[in-house]
């Protein structure tokens, strides 16, 4: 079968789909992935066919105000402007998508240009969430509605209202806060983690091997120099080796710190004792995959929800960015690492993740669903021809 993948061009949205798409290719399916130039290398590496789209198919992050990111992302106009543009962009794809003669589409719920094109061409669709699944009739949706200043716009509500017969989430069902409200069609396949990081990346793993290590990263979008200064003050001269990701190198770096603009996260986590994270879903799942407890400092978007759920499940603790001091940061890190209940909860969740199915299960349910759609279409065509 031939399937098209439409995802928003961001690491947090694309990464969970990569090993699923790769597994489908390995099984002989034809996978065509629409994305931007930034992700071309990743997609070519898994054997998918690549269709490049322009940067306008993502969100124009530079349109955000110069105030803190969390406050800027509460501005509903930012989303409305970008989402309306995405719906309009679907028209540019219609002819190309129609010529693909695809059997179906696997689509990011937030990728309105892909969803709109697939709907207009009446292609069978499956949704692939990047983290916690959200529908308009679940309590989680109430949380997202409160993220915005003022009423939630209709285009955003509609984005969550539309469901499909198959909806995948790359997390375990236990991590979903309101799974009882979701209804049928959801498949919680667990994280789809594959280490694709180049072995020759310029990072000295030997300097942290065998040492107590704290890893600090706020993800691929957020850079917060003030927070990094707090971290350096908290852990400078401590017993820890500290790996910290910062797009800008501080003027003075403590001797026990390794500061890089990018590190091989999965390899670092294999040596880490604690992950101080923004609470992005990919980072949280990767941390738990390697059995590393979390100290989360959520910045924006769904991160407060993810952090709250992780804390509720005793997988770590969260702190509010506005209340952090160096002393509090150090004390909370020591508290987490001394907590036997957290260690046990992390071990239990790690086992759940490793037995969740991941990319194998994702490929299974996608194949099963679209094979049924193909058989249904063939049956309808046969009946039509007989009449």
Could you tell me the domains of the chain? 2-190+357-386 (3.40.50.2000), 205-354 (3.40.50.2000)
CB neighbours of 289 closer than 8 A, spacing ≥ 6? 191, 193, 269, 350, 353, 354
Given this model, what pLDDT does residue 364 score? 98
Supply the pLDDT for residue 258: 97
* pLDDT value of position 201: 66
Q: Which residues of the chain fall below pLDDT 50?
A: 60-73, 200
Q: Are 275 and 254 in contact (CB under 8 A)?
A: no
Task: Report the C-alpha dihedral over residues 178, 181, 184, 186, rounded to 10 degrees.
Answer: -20
pLDDT computed for residue 295 by the predictor: 98
Cα separations (Å) of 286 from 23, 107, 132, 241, 384? Answer: 19, 23, 15, 20, 50
Q: What is the pLDDT of residues 91-137, one digit of tens each?
A: 888 999 999 999 999 999 888 888 889 999 999 999 999 988 877 66
Residue 302 sits at φ, ψ, to 5 deg, of -85, 0
Q: What's the pLDDT tens digit per position in 218-251? A: 986 677 889 999 999 999 999 999 999 998 888 8
pLDDT tens for each residue of 59-98: 644 444 444 444 444 556 666 777 777 777 888 889 999 9
- For the stretch 229-232, contacts whose Cβ atoms lie closer than 8 Å and that sit 24 or more positions apart, written own/partner, are 230/324, 230/325, 230/326, 230/329, 231/276, 231/329, 232/257
- Cα–Cα distance measured from residue 278 to residue 298, given in angstroms and rounded to the nearest whole number: 5
Tallying the residues shown for the chain, one arrives at 387
Give residue 145's pLDDT: 67
Question: Considering just the CA atoms, what is the radius of gyration of the chain in Å?
Answer: 22
- What is the pLDDT at residue 63? 46
**pLDDT computed for residue 71 by the predictor:** 47
Cα separation of 249 and 123, whole Å? 48
Instruction: Mention every residue, 6+ apart, whose C-beta is less than 8 A from residue 230.
Output: 324, 325, 326, 329
């Amino acid at each position: 079968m031939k399937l098209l993948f439409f995802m928003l061009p961001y690491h947090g949205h694309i990464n969970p789909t990569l090993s699923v798409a790769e597994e489908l290719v390995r099984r002989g399916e034809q996978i065509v992935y629409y994305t931007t130039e930034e992700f071309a290398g990743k997609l070519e590496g898994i054997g998918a066919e690549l269709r490049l789209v322009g940067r306008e198919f993502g969100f124009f992050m530079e349109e955000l105000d110069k105030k803190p990111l969390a406050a800027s992302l509460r501005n509903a106009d930012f989303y409305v402007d970008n989402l309306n543009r995405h719906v309009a962009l679907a028209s540019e794809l219609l002819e190309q998508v129609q010529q693909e003669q695809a059997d179906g589409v696997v689509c990011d719920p937030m990728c309105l240009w892909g969803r709109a094109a697939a709907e207009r061409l009446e292609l069978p669709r499956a949704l692939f969430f990047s983290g916690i699944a959200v529908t308009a009739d679940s309590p989680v949706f109430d949380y997202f509605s409160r993220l915005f200043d003022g009423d939630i716009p209709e285009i955003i509500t509609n984005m969550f209202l539309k469901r499909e017969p198959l909806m995948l989430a790359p997390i375990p069902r236990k991590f979903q806060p309101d799974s009882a409200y979701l209804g049928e069609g959801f498949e919680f396949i667990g994280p789809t983690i594959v280490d694709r990081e180049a072995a020759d990346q310029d990072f000295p793993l030997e300097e942290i091997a065998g040492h107590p290590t704290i890893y600090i990263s706020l993800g691929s979008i957020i850079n917060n120099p003030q927070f990094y200064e707090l971290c350096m003050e908290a852990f400078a001269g401590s017993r820890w080796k500290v790996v910290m990701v910062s797009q800008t190198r501080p003027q003075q770096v403590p001797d026990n710190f390794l500061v890089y603009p990018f590190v091989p996260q999965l390899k670092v986590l294999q040596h880490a004792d604690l992950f101080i994270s923004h609470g992005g879903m990919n980072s949280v799942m990767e941390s738990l995959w390697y059995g590393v407890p979390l100290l989360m400092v959520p910045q924006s978007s769904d991160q407060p929800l993810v952090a709250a759920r992780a804390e509720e499940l005793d997988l770590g603790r969260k702190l509010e960015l506005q209340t952090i001091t160096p002393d509090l940061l150090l004390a909370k890190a020591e508290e987490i690492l001394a907590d036997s209940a957290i260690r046990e909860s992390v071990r239990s969740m790690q086992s759940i993740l490793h037995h969740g199915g991941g990319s194998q299960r994702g490929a299974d349910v996608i194949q099963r669903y679209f094979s049924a759609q193909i058989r249904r279409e063939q049956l309808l065509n046969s009946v039509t021809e007989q009449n």
